[in-house]
Amino acid sequence: MKNIIVATFLLFLVLFETNFISPTDSYGGIDKGSITEANVSSMINDRNESESIDSLFPDWTAVCDLSGTRFGEFVSAGDFNGDGFADIAVADGNYNSMGAVFVYFGSQSGPPIIPNQVIHGDGPGFSDHIEGKCDINNDGYSDLIIGDPWTGGTGKVHIHYGSPTGLSDSANVVILPVGTGIQDFGYSVTAADLNGDGYSDVIASVRGQLDTLMVAAYIYNGSAAGISANYPSSVIAFDHSVYPHNRAFGGLGDLNGDGFEDAAIIHSGGRLSVYRGNDSNIFVRSSYREYSFNSGVIYASSAGNVNSDLFGDMLVRTLNEANIYNGSSDAPGPASDWTNPVGICYVYNPVSSAGDFDNDGYDDVAISECDFTDFTGSGLHRRV
């Protein structure tokens, strides 16, 4: 059974009545602070078995009604506790003005009512970009990469390793950029096993001091010991005459089944460039395929393997559509294999693979729908 998980920004949301839990309770060793079921709650809706994945009625919704937050602006997934069910990480780059990531563990019956873990940030913008579709040290537990681009004037990237109990409460590794004249390190973060060694490699962006455009990709190769925070494995600068408006990177998984995971650069103006992996210098070579969208590209990500074949699939979010491109030996093709109209969204990264959320053998996807009229209230919907 294929699922769609949707993170939505809505001006008005109705919260399902649940039992109140004291704000002094804790979970995952982290105090909930002001998080209660009065402002971060879930609702479970009845679903008819004949309902298609395009149903307007979600089975599960996580809602935050705190004014001024950005709950659900970024969603990623991974099996952080290694139990075979995909877990959901929901970012809020403005929670308590310091940012936070809310983690919901998957199970056969779905996610819990409240998050199992909350990772608190140390400054505005923490978790503006997150990535959970990775296993940096190949220990069988997914890891979480958190971009923190506004801290200290240069930015940093936090790595939280997975374990049988979930993600580490504090970062196992904090990466600072190497070089001078750097700002916004971690504005975009993703991961892919670029060199096919079984370890996910971390890709983080930086911008130049005199330019607001992305100018380089810092790549850190994974290993059994994790990654080194001291120096990147490679730094790839971009020619602005060729790529004048690079916005973000996206890890795409192994689209063509060659053993190397692929990646994308998302440009403003509706352009998307797909690169085939084979080493850490992936972005130096010419792109494998270029896409152009009239409505603009918000983000591209791995869709996991939605049809359970031998190839990974690509998920692309435009201004008003979500598109899936199925992988093959010559993947991805020029035309999408699945398109679904979604609410207009200007959010930076509103799509992600959700892993196999219900452990049925088919990977699922997360898609954000949003309304930037106001940041009051948002949610995460699970639809089967």
> Does residue 6 lie within any of the structural domains?
yes
Residue 108 burial class via C-beta count within 10 angstroms: exposed 0-12, middle 13-18, buried 19 and up: exposed
Instruction: State the average pLDDT for the chain.
Output: 74
> Does residue 306 lie within any of the structural domains?
no
Whole-angstrom Cα distance, residue 104 to residue 346?
25
The values of phi and psi at residue 227, to 5°, are: -125, 155
> Does residue 319 lie within any of the structural domains?
no
Whole-angstrom Cα distance, residue 139 to residue 52?
36
CB atoms within 10 A of CB 67: 10
> Does residue 294 lie within any of the structural domains?
no
Please give the model's pTM, rounded to 2 decimal places.
0.78
Any idea of the CA torsion for 182, 186, 190, 195, to the nearest 10 degrees?
40
Range of the domain at 111: 1-121+359-384
**What single string gives the DSSP state of each residue in 135-176?**
-TT-SSS--EEEEETTGGGT-EEEEE---TT-S-SS-SEEE-
| Per-residue pLDDT tens digits for 65-112 | 666 677 777 888 899 999 999 898 988 888 888 999 999 998 888 788
> Does residue 169 lie within any of the structural domains?
no
> Does residue 127 lie within any of the structural domains?
no
The values of phi and psi at residue 151, to 5°, are: -80, 135
Whole-angstrom Cα distance, residue 250 to residue 264?
5
Q: Identify the top-confidence range among 16-20, 34-38, 151-155, 357-361.
A: 151-155
Match 């890709």 to its residue by tokens: 203
Fill in the amino acid letter for 161: Y
pLDDT at 292: 86
- Total domains, the chain: 1
Whole-angstrom Cα distance, residue 252 to residue 342?
21
| Residue 306: HSE in the Cβ half-sphere, 13 Å Cα cutoff | 25
> Does residue 263 lie within any of the structural domains?
no
pLDDT at 350: 59
Which tops the pLDDT comparison, 113 or 34? 113
Contact (Cβ atoms closer than 8 angstroms) between residue 275 and residue 251: no
pLDDT at 382: 30
Confidence of residue 245 (pLDDT cuts 50, 70, 90): low
> Does residue 94 lie within any of the structural domains?
yes
Whole-angstrom Cα distance, residue 381 to residue 10?
12
Whole-angstrom Cα distance, residue 225 to residue 247?
31
Match 């503006």 to its residue by tokens: 128
Q: pLDDT exceeding 90 applies to what percent of the chain?
A: 25
